[in-house]
Chains A and B, each alone.
Chain A
Amino acid sequence: MSPRRVRHRVIAAVATWVLLATVVRVVVALPEHCPAVDSDIVYASAVEAVGWLERNQLDDGQWVYRYDKDADEIVGGYNTVRHAGVLMSLYQAASFDIDGALEVADSGTAYALDNLVRHDDWAAFEPSSNRVTTGAAALLVAGLVERRLLTDDPVHDDVMRELSRFLVAHVEPSGAVIESWDRRAEEPLFGQYSPFFTGEVYWALALMHLVFPDEGWDEPALRIGEYVATERDDAENYWPELPDHWSALGMWTVTLWPDRPDPDRPLPDVQVPYVERQAGLGSIQTRYESQRVDDWPRYLLRGRRTLGAGLGTVGEHLTGMWQVSVVDERLAHLSDPIAERATCVAGMLVDRQIDAVEAERYGSPELARGAWFQFGATQMDDQQHALSALLLTLPILEAEEANQ
């Protein structure tokens, strides 16, 4: 046997190891970027997001919808559901004692209440379209409940009930939620469902039961929750399973109901495996996003970084489930890994937000500061979802800091 041939064999074997390690590192096991954050940093980032919404609110209570920083141009258009979402996030910010958030949210609420659609015994929120969505009403309810919990002010109680009756009127016996009401035909748009509104309605009704526990809002909420966990993906043709941040917030709210039969296991049984699956979806989204870098060649493998709204919803999703996992003993094993992923999302959000110094590089710093951009543009819902995600991560960080 020739020593040279043996040497070649060993070299070939080593080369195979090196080649495999290189391919795995370059293609699959990319570094995950999770910038370190603490509660002060995250809070400051949330304050900056509120600042954007405060500076860019119009006189009538609406917000700048979309801004292109490269063209230094405010782009037209508006979205009613997102208006309700923004005011809801601002009420959340107010509950975290961020100055000015309550007043800005109240201005947004005034606009919403000036644009209600009333029919039978219910009300909905839609300024102009014939498509009156359950999503806008649900997020308006959620915002008003946040306000009610914060201020104890009953001024909006009646309209909250009117809006919630609209929501209940669109919940089918199965728990499915009809997407909207047709203003012209004066009837629900039967057979049309939304990937987002179902969870929004679930959350809104769960919140209503939290503040009005004797009015029966829990029954439709639980019906929706069971439908989401067991039937929705098949019935509405979602594959793979739909990651639903709104339902995560809904489940968290259900765990807060004081009338749940077992305080250590407040989540309905059917939702326990659902949370386990959803936590996996939120986690893979986090790991994938944390591998994204906009520079060549990395974006060829993972694509460009997601929207602020996209990353924010991942954070809302994870933080909602974290709250469930720390309350329900059946999900306690998920608490630490979910906290780790949610903190990673918060770190990415902080890292990607335009700060005051960076904003000065653009034509309209007041429209850039505190915002999240993709392809040079930001929308008000980028700030909304990112703001909520940051706020909802604070309890995780504060719990960790308290343990240190």
Chain B
Amino acid sequence: MNASVWVAVIALVVAVNPARVAVVAGGLGEVDRWRSSSLWTAAGGAAVGGALFLLIGAVAGPLLDAIDVSAPTIMVAVGLVLLIAGAKDLFMGPPPSDPALAGWRSILVPIAVPAVARPHAGLLVVGVAGAYGFWPVLAGTVLMVAAVAAASTAASEGVGSRVLGWLGAAGAVLTAATGAIFAVDGVFAV
């Protein structure tokens, strides 16, 4: 693969789209947040979703070998899916905050699922682990959790809401852009 490993790390962050996760966390009622805090709820959910990514990343290589799929081929698939996912994120809002589990369990639903553990991000983890190894998955996951936590400090109303909207759109565009890079790179990889 010719694309820089840093593109893969960034792709993991933008595929989750931290601003959209922050919007979901911000939409929870105070009683539905862990420690009554958007920051803790969002970061906790990102950590749970990230743990799932790490688990997937750890088994991705043997999985691809078992199903006879090469790294370039899975990256072509990743690229196409990210292109579609980025376009969808650009034109559709984040998932609703409701229904949600109450209290600290809201980190599981709706933050970890469905806001963080998004299927295209899971596929991306498989591709990145297959093409670049586990460490970019780990780096991307850590950055993703940090980015979700940072985004959730923005208020979900007023100016903060508009900033999250713009950041979410930027994340969608970057998701599509990294998808294009991966698709082309996968096609022409040796």
Q: How many interface residues does chain B have, given as a range?
A: 20 to 34
Residue B9 at the A interface, CB < 8 A? no
Interface SS, A side:
helix
Residue A304 at the B interface, CB < 8 A? no
In the complex with contacts A1-B102, A32-B69, A33-B68, A338-B190 CB distance below 8 A: yes
Residue B72 at the A interface, CB < 8 A? yes
Residue A110 at the B interface, CB < 8 A? no
Please report which residues of chain A, range 1-35, place their CB below 8 angstroms from some CB of chain B when the two chains form the complex.
1-2, 5-6, 9-10, 12-13, 16-17, 19-21, 24-25, 28-34
Q: Which of A218-226, A279-287, A362-370, A385-393 contacts B (4 or more CB under 8 A)?
A: A279-287
Contact of A334 (CB < 8 Å), options: B122, B123, B190: B190
Shortest Cβ distance from residue A1 to the other chain B in the assembled complex, whole angstroms? 5
Let me know if B190 and A20 touch, CB within 8 A: no
Shortest Cβ distance from residue B103 to the other chain A in the assembled complex, whole angstroms? 11
Residue A337 at the B interface, CB < 8 A? yes
Shortest Cβ distance from residue B109 to the other chain A in the assembled complex, whole angstroms? 5
Interface SS, B side:
helix
Chain A 313-336 per-residue mask, 1 if CB under 8 angstroms from chain B, else 0: 000000000000000000000100
Residue B83 at the A interface, CB < 8 A? no
Number of A interface residues at 8 Å Cβ cutoff, please give it.
Answer: 36
Residue A341 at the B interface, CB < 8 A? yes
Residue B188 at the A interface, CB < 8 A? yes
Of listed A28, A32, A281, A334, residue having the most chain B CB within 10 A: A28
Compute how far the CA of A78 lies from the CA of B80 in the bound complex, rounded to whole angstroms. Answer: 44
Compute how far the CA of A316 lies from the CA of B154 in the bound complex, rounded to whole angstroms. Answer: 59
Let me know if B189 and A280 touch, CB within 8 A: yes
In the complex with contacts A9-B109, A13-B117, A281-B188, A24-B102 CB distance below 8 A: no
Contact of A31 (CB < 8 Å), options: B32, B67, B122: B67
Interface residues of B (CB under 8 A from A): 32, 67-70, 72-74, 76-77, 80-81, 98-102, 109-110, 113-114, 117, 119-120, 122-123, 187-190
